Amino acid sequence: MKTLSRYVLAGLLTFVIGILVYAYLAFPAAYVNRVLRWGDADVYDYRKFPERSLEASDSPFGFSRSTDQERVRTLFESIAGVDDMDAFLAKNRTQAFLVIQDDTILYEGDYGGASRDTIVTSFSIAKSFASALIGVTIAEGHIQSVDDPITGYLPELAERDPAFGKISIRDLLMMSSGIRYAEFPFVNGDDAKTYYYPDLRQLALEETQITGVAGERFHYNNYHPLLLGMILERATGRSVAEYLEQKIWQPMGTQYPGSWSLDEVGFEKMESGINGRAIDFAKFGRLFLHNGSWDGTQILPEAWVSESTQADRTLDYDNYYYDDYIFADGKGYYKYMWWGIQRDGQRYDLIAEGNHGQFMYIVPDKNLIILRFGES
């Protein structure tokens, strides 16, 4: 029996060594080292990556503050079926919880040693910022429209496979490009590659493969924001973080500086990497509540806000969406890197969502923003 156990252990060790040899031969050592050393993504990864700064506004905007936070606590405990809202949020590793209505903070809670100036990270909430920047570039004439083929900005893709010419910017925004995406396994999975790869531009330009028809089916895919980031760079002649700072971050009255995490060659981690304070992320929600206007200044085109957040009713949901998630009842949808829930023919709620429970929930008809950032 001991001999058999030794053979089993030897076989497992040989298998693991074989996998590692394959990984180091197939991928850059820096990438494999990150996967092995850092493991799954967490909310403190922003400390590990290089970053490009986002300077705060010279004229920070301040929300009013309600003196009655008990109303939110009572409602939360009733709806969630818990006895103590703060204990529940702390137990579930929340860092920041904000409820803002009519520009008034109804509730602001910080947990687990966090405070108002604690840095939180966006994960995929960054995708909604990337989408907004596309709207700005179109308004400024850097991009003609969302129907432009992506090869007009990234001709290298067409040289590798002419089929990339059939993919539009809209297809990237809708997560329906037909580009292959497999979350697992190990270092060969696209989730790990698009998060840890040392040169994300190279990855997106050289490793992407088309396996489907553009516009035919939704498939959540982190190559899409990477490609959008390169399009933004080439269309504007600026880094994405610099463009965000100038066009959105500062104009919406951020109180604190932020940053955008980078790969090892200086390209923004478009799929996940904006870092800031919860109160400033809330201002991005306010921007969408006001149809792109900020106290009389149109930061985002009103038409873009409408187009990028309301459901596309021309789609056949049963065939377009690949699983239930929020789509099961035909009311949930995904539009230009926002999740949406249609409550009736006129009203809808918006969600920007990130890994490990980062949420920005916007209820336009209630002028309401709810944010939750946390460790898991």
Tell me, what's the pLDDT at 328?
A: 72
Residue matched to tokens 């860092």: 95
Q: Which two tokens stand for residue 308?
A: 């990028």
pLDDT band for position 305 (cuts 50, 70, 90): very high
Instruction: Identify the CATH homologous superfamily for domain 46-62+115-153+222-374.
Output: DD-peptidase/beta-lactamase superfamily (3.40.710.10)
* Tokens (6 digits) for 226: 């990477």
Please check whether residue 327 is in contact with residue 217, taking contact to mean a CB–CB distance below 8 angstroms: no
**Alpha carbon distances (Å) from 259 to 271, 277, 294, 340, 349:** 14, 10, 22, 27, 28
- Give the helix/strand (H/E) hosting 354: strand 348-354
> In this model, does residue 4 exceed pLDDT 60?
no
pLDDT digits (tens, 9 = 90+) for 262-303: 999 999 999 999 999 999 999 999 999 999 999 999 999 999
pLDDT in tens, 213-266: 999 999 999 999 999 999 999 999 999 999 999 999 999 999 999 999 999 999
* Cβ–Cβ < 8 Å for 332, 338: no
User: What is the average pLDDT value for the chain, to the nearest integer?
Assistant: 93
Q: What is the mean pLDDT of residues 330-343?
A: 92
pTM: 0.94
Place of tokens 């060969």: 188
> Given the structure tokens 């292959």, which residue do they identify?
180
pLDDT band at 13 (very low <50, low <70, confident <90, very high): low
Q: What is the mean pLDDT of residues 308-318?
A: 90
List the domain boundaries for the chain: 2-38, 46-62+115-153+222-374
Spatial strand order in the sheet of 368-374 = 64-65, 104-110, 94-101, 368-374, 358-363, 348-354, 338-342, 332-335
Q: What is the pLDDT of residues 103-114, one digit of tens each?
A: 999 999 999 999
Residue 34: its pLDDT value, please? 87
Of 131, 172, 169, nearest in space to 152 by CA: 169
Strands 297-298 and 64-65: unpaired
